[in-house]
Amino acid sequence: MTQGLIILSFALMAIGMWGLMSRRHLIRIIIGFSLVDTGVHLLLVAVGYRESGTAPIVSDRLPLELLARRGVDPVPSALVLTAIVIGLAVTALMLSFAVRMYQRTRSIYIDKNKELRW
Amino acid sequence: MIKRVFALALIVVVAFFVFPLFAGIGERTDLGPVATAYLEEGARALGAANLVTAVVVTYRGLDTLGEVTVLFAASAGVALVFGTLARRSQVERRRRPPSELLETGASLLLPIIATFGVFVFVHGHLTPGGGFQGGVVVASGVLLSFLGGTLTHTPHRLLGALETVAGAGYVAIGLLGIWLAAGFLDPRFLPSGEIGSLFSGGAIPLIYVLVGVKVGAELSGVIDAMRHRSDVS
Amino acid sequence: MMLVFLAVIGVMMVIAAFVALYSRDVVGAIVAAGVVSLLASLLYLVFGAPDVAMTEAAIGSALTTVVFLFAWSRIREIASHGERRDEEVPE
């Protein structure tokens, strides 16, 4: 179960990185970045999971005494929680740079931009 | 061609880093010492039923302050880039007014969405949810009101004031923790109450409400900067 | 049972990720990227992280998609009028 999630997260990271490097369309490059983002978040959640674990929230079904034996690791959840919000803001910043680049160069394809040649 | 080879090499390098995790973690049933300590002590020491909230607000509270700062920097960057863009492009197409369905639906759903957002960030220490999620729900309500035409002019001054007050309040509560309790962002200077009731967890609900207000105001600002505007000159 | 669920969701995510990178239509690609996020939020829910699932469902699949669509329509708007230097309108 955990290993399956790790394989899936690696697959998403690989697809996203492939898109990041091989696509030329600005919007698709940013989509590739957000795929890598999702893959990393899934990897972190997989690292925090334990077999047949449940959410670390005290309730009638999960009293205080059982928490340490049944609950999953709360630290990766907390990290991913904030990382997703930051991811949105960073994606918005990248998209605004993409719009500015399009306004300057009048081309959505990144290899038409002579200043960025390598 | 050389780019594709480079991409494949990069993927192989990442595989090299992920494989130890895959092979070493197996199907584990126990957690590390830090996580076990949080799970055993956290709920009782802080009075918060949701341990994820306890970690976000208290144990890793300084990280959260940093993340909120990053969020502020990114939204300021978006506003900067699009602010100059709006001034440069003089020709603005007249926008089609929203359809009646969207307009009515938006004004009907808006109070419900706003109430739900506030509910989510007030109950962050009891149920899944909290400041980040509630702030996002509020921001999507603001988006809906932009699309439905309920909100035509952006209340820039209100958004700025909310952001300032929430950010300053967050730091002020953190400093109160130094003065009245054990350290920065320690929420135990208020009574921790009974686990599971609304007034519990010390200052955790207070901090998370401030985070929610700040996240909601910042994301509303990002959405407002990025949408089309027919009303800017 | 859970493993079957994980496999089905995983295959759908991989397909949606490829659609997001390779489809001809940009709006379709943006929506496919939103689908990847929505399926990821289901997985978070199963793997004991409902807080993360809520955040991902609200941000990853709703607000990110909207932000992408806003940026794309800004690009289309710049393409359709304004001074023309290079006659290249993105598809």
Query: B127-141 pLDDT, tens per residue?
Result: 888 888 999 999 999
Q: Is C40 helix (H, G, I), strand (E, B) or coil?
A: helix
**Which one of A5, A27, A53 has the shortest CB-CB distance to C6?**
A5
Reply yes or no on whether the pLDDT at B195 is more than 70.
yes
Work out the number of other CB atoms within 10 angstroms of the CB of residue C71: 25
Q: pLDDT truncated to tens, each residue of chain C (91 aa)?
A: 788 999 999 999 999 999 999 998 999 999 999 999 999 999 999 888 899 999 999 888 889 999 999 999 888 888 876 544 444 555 5
Q: Which residue has the tokens 């061609």?
A: B1
Rounded mean pLDDT of A5-12? 91
In a domain, C87, yes or no: no
Structural domain span for residue B220: 2-226
Does residue C26 lie in a domain region? yes
Question: Residue B24: pLDDT above 80?
Answer: no
**% pLDDT > 70, chain B:** 91
Domain of residue C69: give its range. 2-80
Given a cut of 90, is residue B18 above it in pLDDT?
A: no
Residue B101 lies in a domain: yes
Q: What is the pLDDT of residue C89?
A: 54
How many folded domains does chain C comprise? 1
User: What average pLDDT does range A65-76 have in this prediction?
Assistant: 83
CB pairs under 8 A between A and C: 147
Q: A15 lies in which domain range?
A: 2-116
pLDDT value of residue B90: 47
- What's the structural domain count of chain A? 1
Q: Interface partners of C (3+ CB pairs, < 8 Å)?
A: A, B
In a domain? residue B231:
no
- Residue B230, pLDDT score: 45
pLDDT > 90 fraction of chain B, expressed in percent and rounded = 11
Residues B54, B38 contacting (CB under 8 angstroms): yes
Classify residue B232: in a domain, yes or no: no
Count of CB atoms within 10 A of residue B195's CB?
Answer: 17
Is C88 a domain residue?
no
On chain A, the residues whose CB falls within 8 A of the CB of B139 are none
Q: Which residue of A has its CA nearest to B134?
A: A85
pLDDT for the residue numbered A37: 93
pLDDT on residue B231: 42
Cβ–Cβ under 8 Å, residues B133 and B120: yes
Please indicate whether, in this complex, the C-beta atoms of B139 and C55 are within 8 angstroms of each other.
Answer: no
Confidence of residue B95 (pLDDT cuts 50, 70, 90): low
In a domain, C91, yes or no: no
Q: Which chains, if any, share at least 3 CB pairs under 8 A with chain A?
A: B, C
> Which CATH number fits the domain that encloses residue A26?
1.10.287.3510
Has residue B71 been placed in a domain? yes
